Structures are given as C-alpha cells and as structure tokens.
Amino acid sequence: MDLTRDSLTVAPELLGTRLRVGAVTLRITEVEAYHGAADPAAHAYRGWRPHTRHLFEAPGTLYCYRSYGIHICANLVCGPIGSGSAVLLRAGEVVDGLDIARARRPGVPDVRLARGPGCLGQALALTLDDSGRRLGDPELELLPRTGEVGPIATGPRVGVSVAATRPWRFWLAGDPTVSPYRASPRLGRGAGAVTEKK
C-alpha cells in the first residue's frame, strides 16, 4: 500500500488490510484520519515535539502514544515526510494468534479483543517503545486485503473536542468488532452523531 498519500485517502484503504505484530495479526476494521498541522485535533497540530517526533518521520512509521495515562494507541504515519499526518488504528478482528490475544485480554469476548484503540494496543502488546518502528521491520508487517471488504461507513471522529464534526472516521459497516461512537463530553449533546455511508 502506498502510504505516501494523504491520510484521508489512505484511511479507508486500510480497512480490511491485516496488521501483524509478532505472533498476532488483526484485520483492520476501523480507523480515523488525522491531517497533520492542518488538523486542530491532530497531535502534530502544534508542530514537532519530542514526544510526537515519530509522527514527522517517513510513511509507514508506527506512532504510539499513551491515552488517559493507561492505554497505548497506535497510528500509521502517512503522507510526505514532515507532514505529521497519520491514521489511528481504532479496531480490528484478531485473525491469527487468537490464543495469545485472549491471554493478553483475559475474559474478554473475541469480538471485543481489539475493539477500540486501547484494546487494539493491548491485544498487540504495544508499548511506547514500539513508537518509531517501521513497517517491514522484523515482526511488523502490513498485509493486503483478501477479497472484498463490503460497504464502508464514515462519520465523526470519536472523543475529539475540536474539529469534531469532520467525518474522518471510517469503518466496515456492520462489522461487530467496530467500536461504538462516543462524542467528547466537552461537546454539546448530540454533536457529530450523524453518519453517512458510501
């Protein structure tokens, strides 16, 4: 896949591809696009910082960050080097290494093993040390789709409080591994709840 392109082009094309991290492989079912310095919801919006440095590296770089002080979330950098654009991996279906993912998330139903970006990070055992790894490194591989993915839905991103109504979240319509939409509590009631299908 050509990750040098715009995040809004890359994001829906990631759906149905498979990400392998070590012994666990996910089929990606939900993503969000972040448009670098032009996107006030992006980590790159305020420019290069030591903790966001991997966002400004070559396409195919993994950018990991800690959310709510607990969860490790993963993004794939895309676009030109230095743009800070990336696609957040929000959800997936474990298609290989199921027993390992279950052990990492004990007692969780299979359909929820990687539902939501923090759960996805846990199922893949990602840490902040994984930030900066590149696709093609040992044990980190993006595999192409196998067959048709079906309809793709788009709607507002989850939990952001700025640029919240932009329909830059993409998911496989009807897939049970996709996470539920939740608006940021800092937004007014019902903000961004409308979705559209394409």
What are the extents of the domains in the chain? 7-148
Owner of token pair 């539902």: 115
pLDDT tens track for 98-130? 999 999 999 999 999 999 999 999 999 999 999
Question: What's this model's pTM, rounded to 2 decimal places?
Answer: 0.91
Percentage of the chain with pLDDT > 90?
A: 76
Evaluate if residue 81 carries a pLDDT over 90.
Answer: yes
Q: Cβ(79)–Cβ(55) under 8 Å?
A: no
The one-letter amino acid code at 138 reads P
pLDDT tens track for 132-149? 999 999 899 999 998 889
7-148, CATH topology level: 3-methyladenine DNA Glycosylase; Chain A (3.10.300)
CB atoms near residue 28 (< 10 Å): 28
